[in-house]
Structure 1
């Protein structure tokens, strides 16, 4: 009843603003309506708005600083003296399927889309992408870089050379500072066993476990991969040990407990990286908040961190949101605040998808939600799939959508909710930004996070997940400004001190 009362009061107050009392918190008495930004020709604030009903899709709206003292009770105040994590970036996965679809476009259309997405000045400024080490369930075939037994047979494969690497090079030509996270879905099949007791060969792309007898070879595999990509001009900034290590059922998969990751890192991978002078960050786990409800795998990262010999090589842990709650991020952070957190995958698909519903859920849970629980990066799943949700591998996800879906003419596109939620982050929060504290107005259904960029500018990403517009004022102590954020909408702000 208390929540309903507050929502009712908020609705009443909002109605008062709309009918003429908008002077509260707007300073100069002018609040551009969502559909009619007004006649302002100069803008002190870069403001971008997307609504769940798609009446506004990343609409840029001019907004000026107030010329009067701020008296609004609906003010969010920046507090740059309270500093949290440094941000690395935001983006999507360039799977083999995504790259295949991009290369089916005309060179002109693809260049236009990639510039709109990755250009840090004139585009959305996507700054972090994920790729697979070998095949994923969104590849054109199943493969690793060493399918013939013997680590001396390592070599990059045609799918990478023909699709993934060319697309990465085009992206890096637009934004050389884009970071790349690489994740394997499986080790080479000849390194697999059925279990660690019987250790029988396991000739399958799906499931199996890494034979400890091949720990050194598998560490060399990662070293060779990073070196081979560097020779192509592509720096792997970070890598996870295994995508979804507790998921035996994906079309390309490997089961890997926290005990196995711990032992592999401390006895093989960490020392191999150190010997080879590799600075690629090692990220553990890369799976769901709830550890797939496997009792002895709870607190997967925390258990690994308890081993100092392994922990010394590890930068942090990655998480997905297909099970459990984002509160797990805070628990992991509090247990080991010196280790970083990354959000590495979330997909949309045929399961109950709507643009409006996912825009709101994804922004609250994955974007603002994980950032306010200490993640340094937010990366969603496929950047682009075709209208048939592919290409995909049988046994993997055959119902997923991309951040962008493209028709089979490879020209007509639909930008889905994920494209816009990541854009709202990447456009205003630049790599190296620090999340900062805020004080002031809070109410159910209002979510936000604030940042100080390396150039001294402020950034705020804010979500109104209520059914009424909210007239919100932002203030940094020197400047203040107001905007009536539409119902069910996301607003991103950036301004100089």
Structure 2
């Protein structure tokens, strides 16, 4: 992942550009590039606008391409394929034959089903409303090889808070979240799960 091209565009025509879109087709996606880009261009909005969902991916790959960018100043993230049929189509010749939509339509039966990726993205799109602000946090751990425990917290326009927690480990984790004001919330996070806590506004 490289910021050279969007930076060149901004340097040449910054008065006409206020938003940058990122895709995730690099061999190894280093979302920290978005933080570096933000530090140089703090008034430019960033979005992740193209990552694929596929039955060949790990169960948590969708979480990674939503949470990773948003931990690094992205304002949002969307999937490349919103809907597909049971053959991962339709698509243009040479297009992605393994990209499955968030919703899969069985054209023969006239029915549709929602995939795991649909519900994983829904943890953010349903519980983190427009206008929410991501909070700086510590405590996330990534040991590599998919072994990670990560959390993001948000404050919503009405003052309520949302915490989204990814647990890739094969065991439950008891989590305590402590806010800057000293308030704490604790609970169990099930193994291999994405969990969302909705918390009231801070007291006082």
Normalized against structure 2, the TM-score is what? 0.85
**1:482 positional shift:** 1.9
Aligned counterparts of 1:330 and 1:481: Cα–Cα separation in 2 = 28
State whether structure 2 residue 111 is matched by structure 1 residue 411: yes
Aligned counterparts of 2:94 and 2:137: Cα–Cα separation in 1 = 46
1 or 2 for the larger relative contact order (CA 8 Å, sep ≥6)?
1
Determine if contact 1:301/1:332 at 8 Å carries over to the other structure.
Answer: no
Larger radius of gyration: 1
Which structure shows the bigger proportion of residues in helix conformation?
1
Give the corresponding residue for 1:349. Answer: 54
Correspondences of 1:303-322 after superposition (within 5 Å): 303-307=8-12, 310-322=13-25
Match of 1:471 among 161, 174, 178: 174
Q: Deviations over 1:92-129 (max 9, x none)?
A: xxxxxxxxxxxxxxxxxxxxxxxxxxxxxxxxxxxxxx
**1:436 positional shift:** 1.4
Determine if contact 1:381/1:403 at 8 Å carries over to the other structure.
Answer: no
Determine if contact 2:52/2:99 at 8 Å carries over to the other structure.
Answer: yes
Aligned counterparts of 2:81 and 2:156: Cα–Cα separation in 1 = 28
**1:442 positional shift:** 4.3
**1:361 positional shift:** 2.5
User: Which aligned runs of 4 or more in structure 1 are off by greater than 4 angstroms?
Assistant: none
Aligned counterparts of 2:33 and 2:194: Cα–Cα separation in 1 = 25
- 2:92 is paired with a residue whose SS is coil
**1:427 positional shift:** 1.8
- 2:124 is paired with a residue whose SS is helix
Number of equivalent positions: 192
Q: Which moved more, 1:334-343 or 1:324-333?
A: 324-333
Give the corresponding residue for 1:333. Answer: 38
Q: Deviations over 1:379-433 (max 9, x none)?
A: 11222111021222222223321012122212142x2232122101012211011
Aligned counterparts of 1:458 and 1:426: Cα–Cα separation in 2 = 14
Q: Deviations over 1:354-400 (max 9, x none)?
A: xxx23x2221x211111011100111122211102122222222332
- 1:349 is paired with a residue whose SS is coil
State whether structure 2 residue 121 is matched by structure 1 residue 422: yes
State whether structure 2 residue 1 is matched by structure 1 residue 301: no
Determine if contact 1:451/1:459 at 8 Å carries over to the other structure.
Answer: yes
Normalized against structure 1, the TM-score is what? 0.37
**1:492 positional shift:** 1.1
Aligned counterparts of 1:410 and 1:384: Cα–Cα separation in 2 = 14
Give the corresponding residue for 1:496. Answer: 200
Determine if contact 1:380/1:418 at 8 Å carries over to the other structure.
Answer: no
Unpaired runs of at least 5, structure 2: 143-147
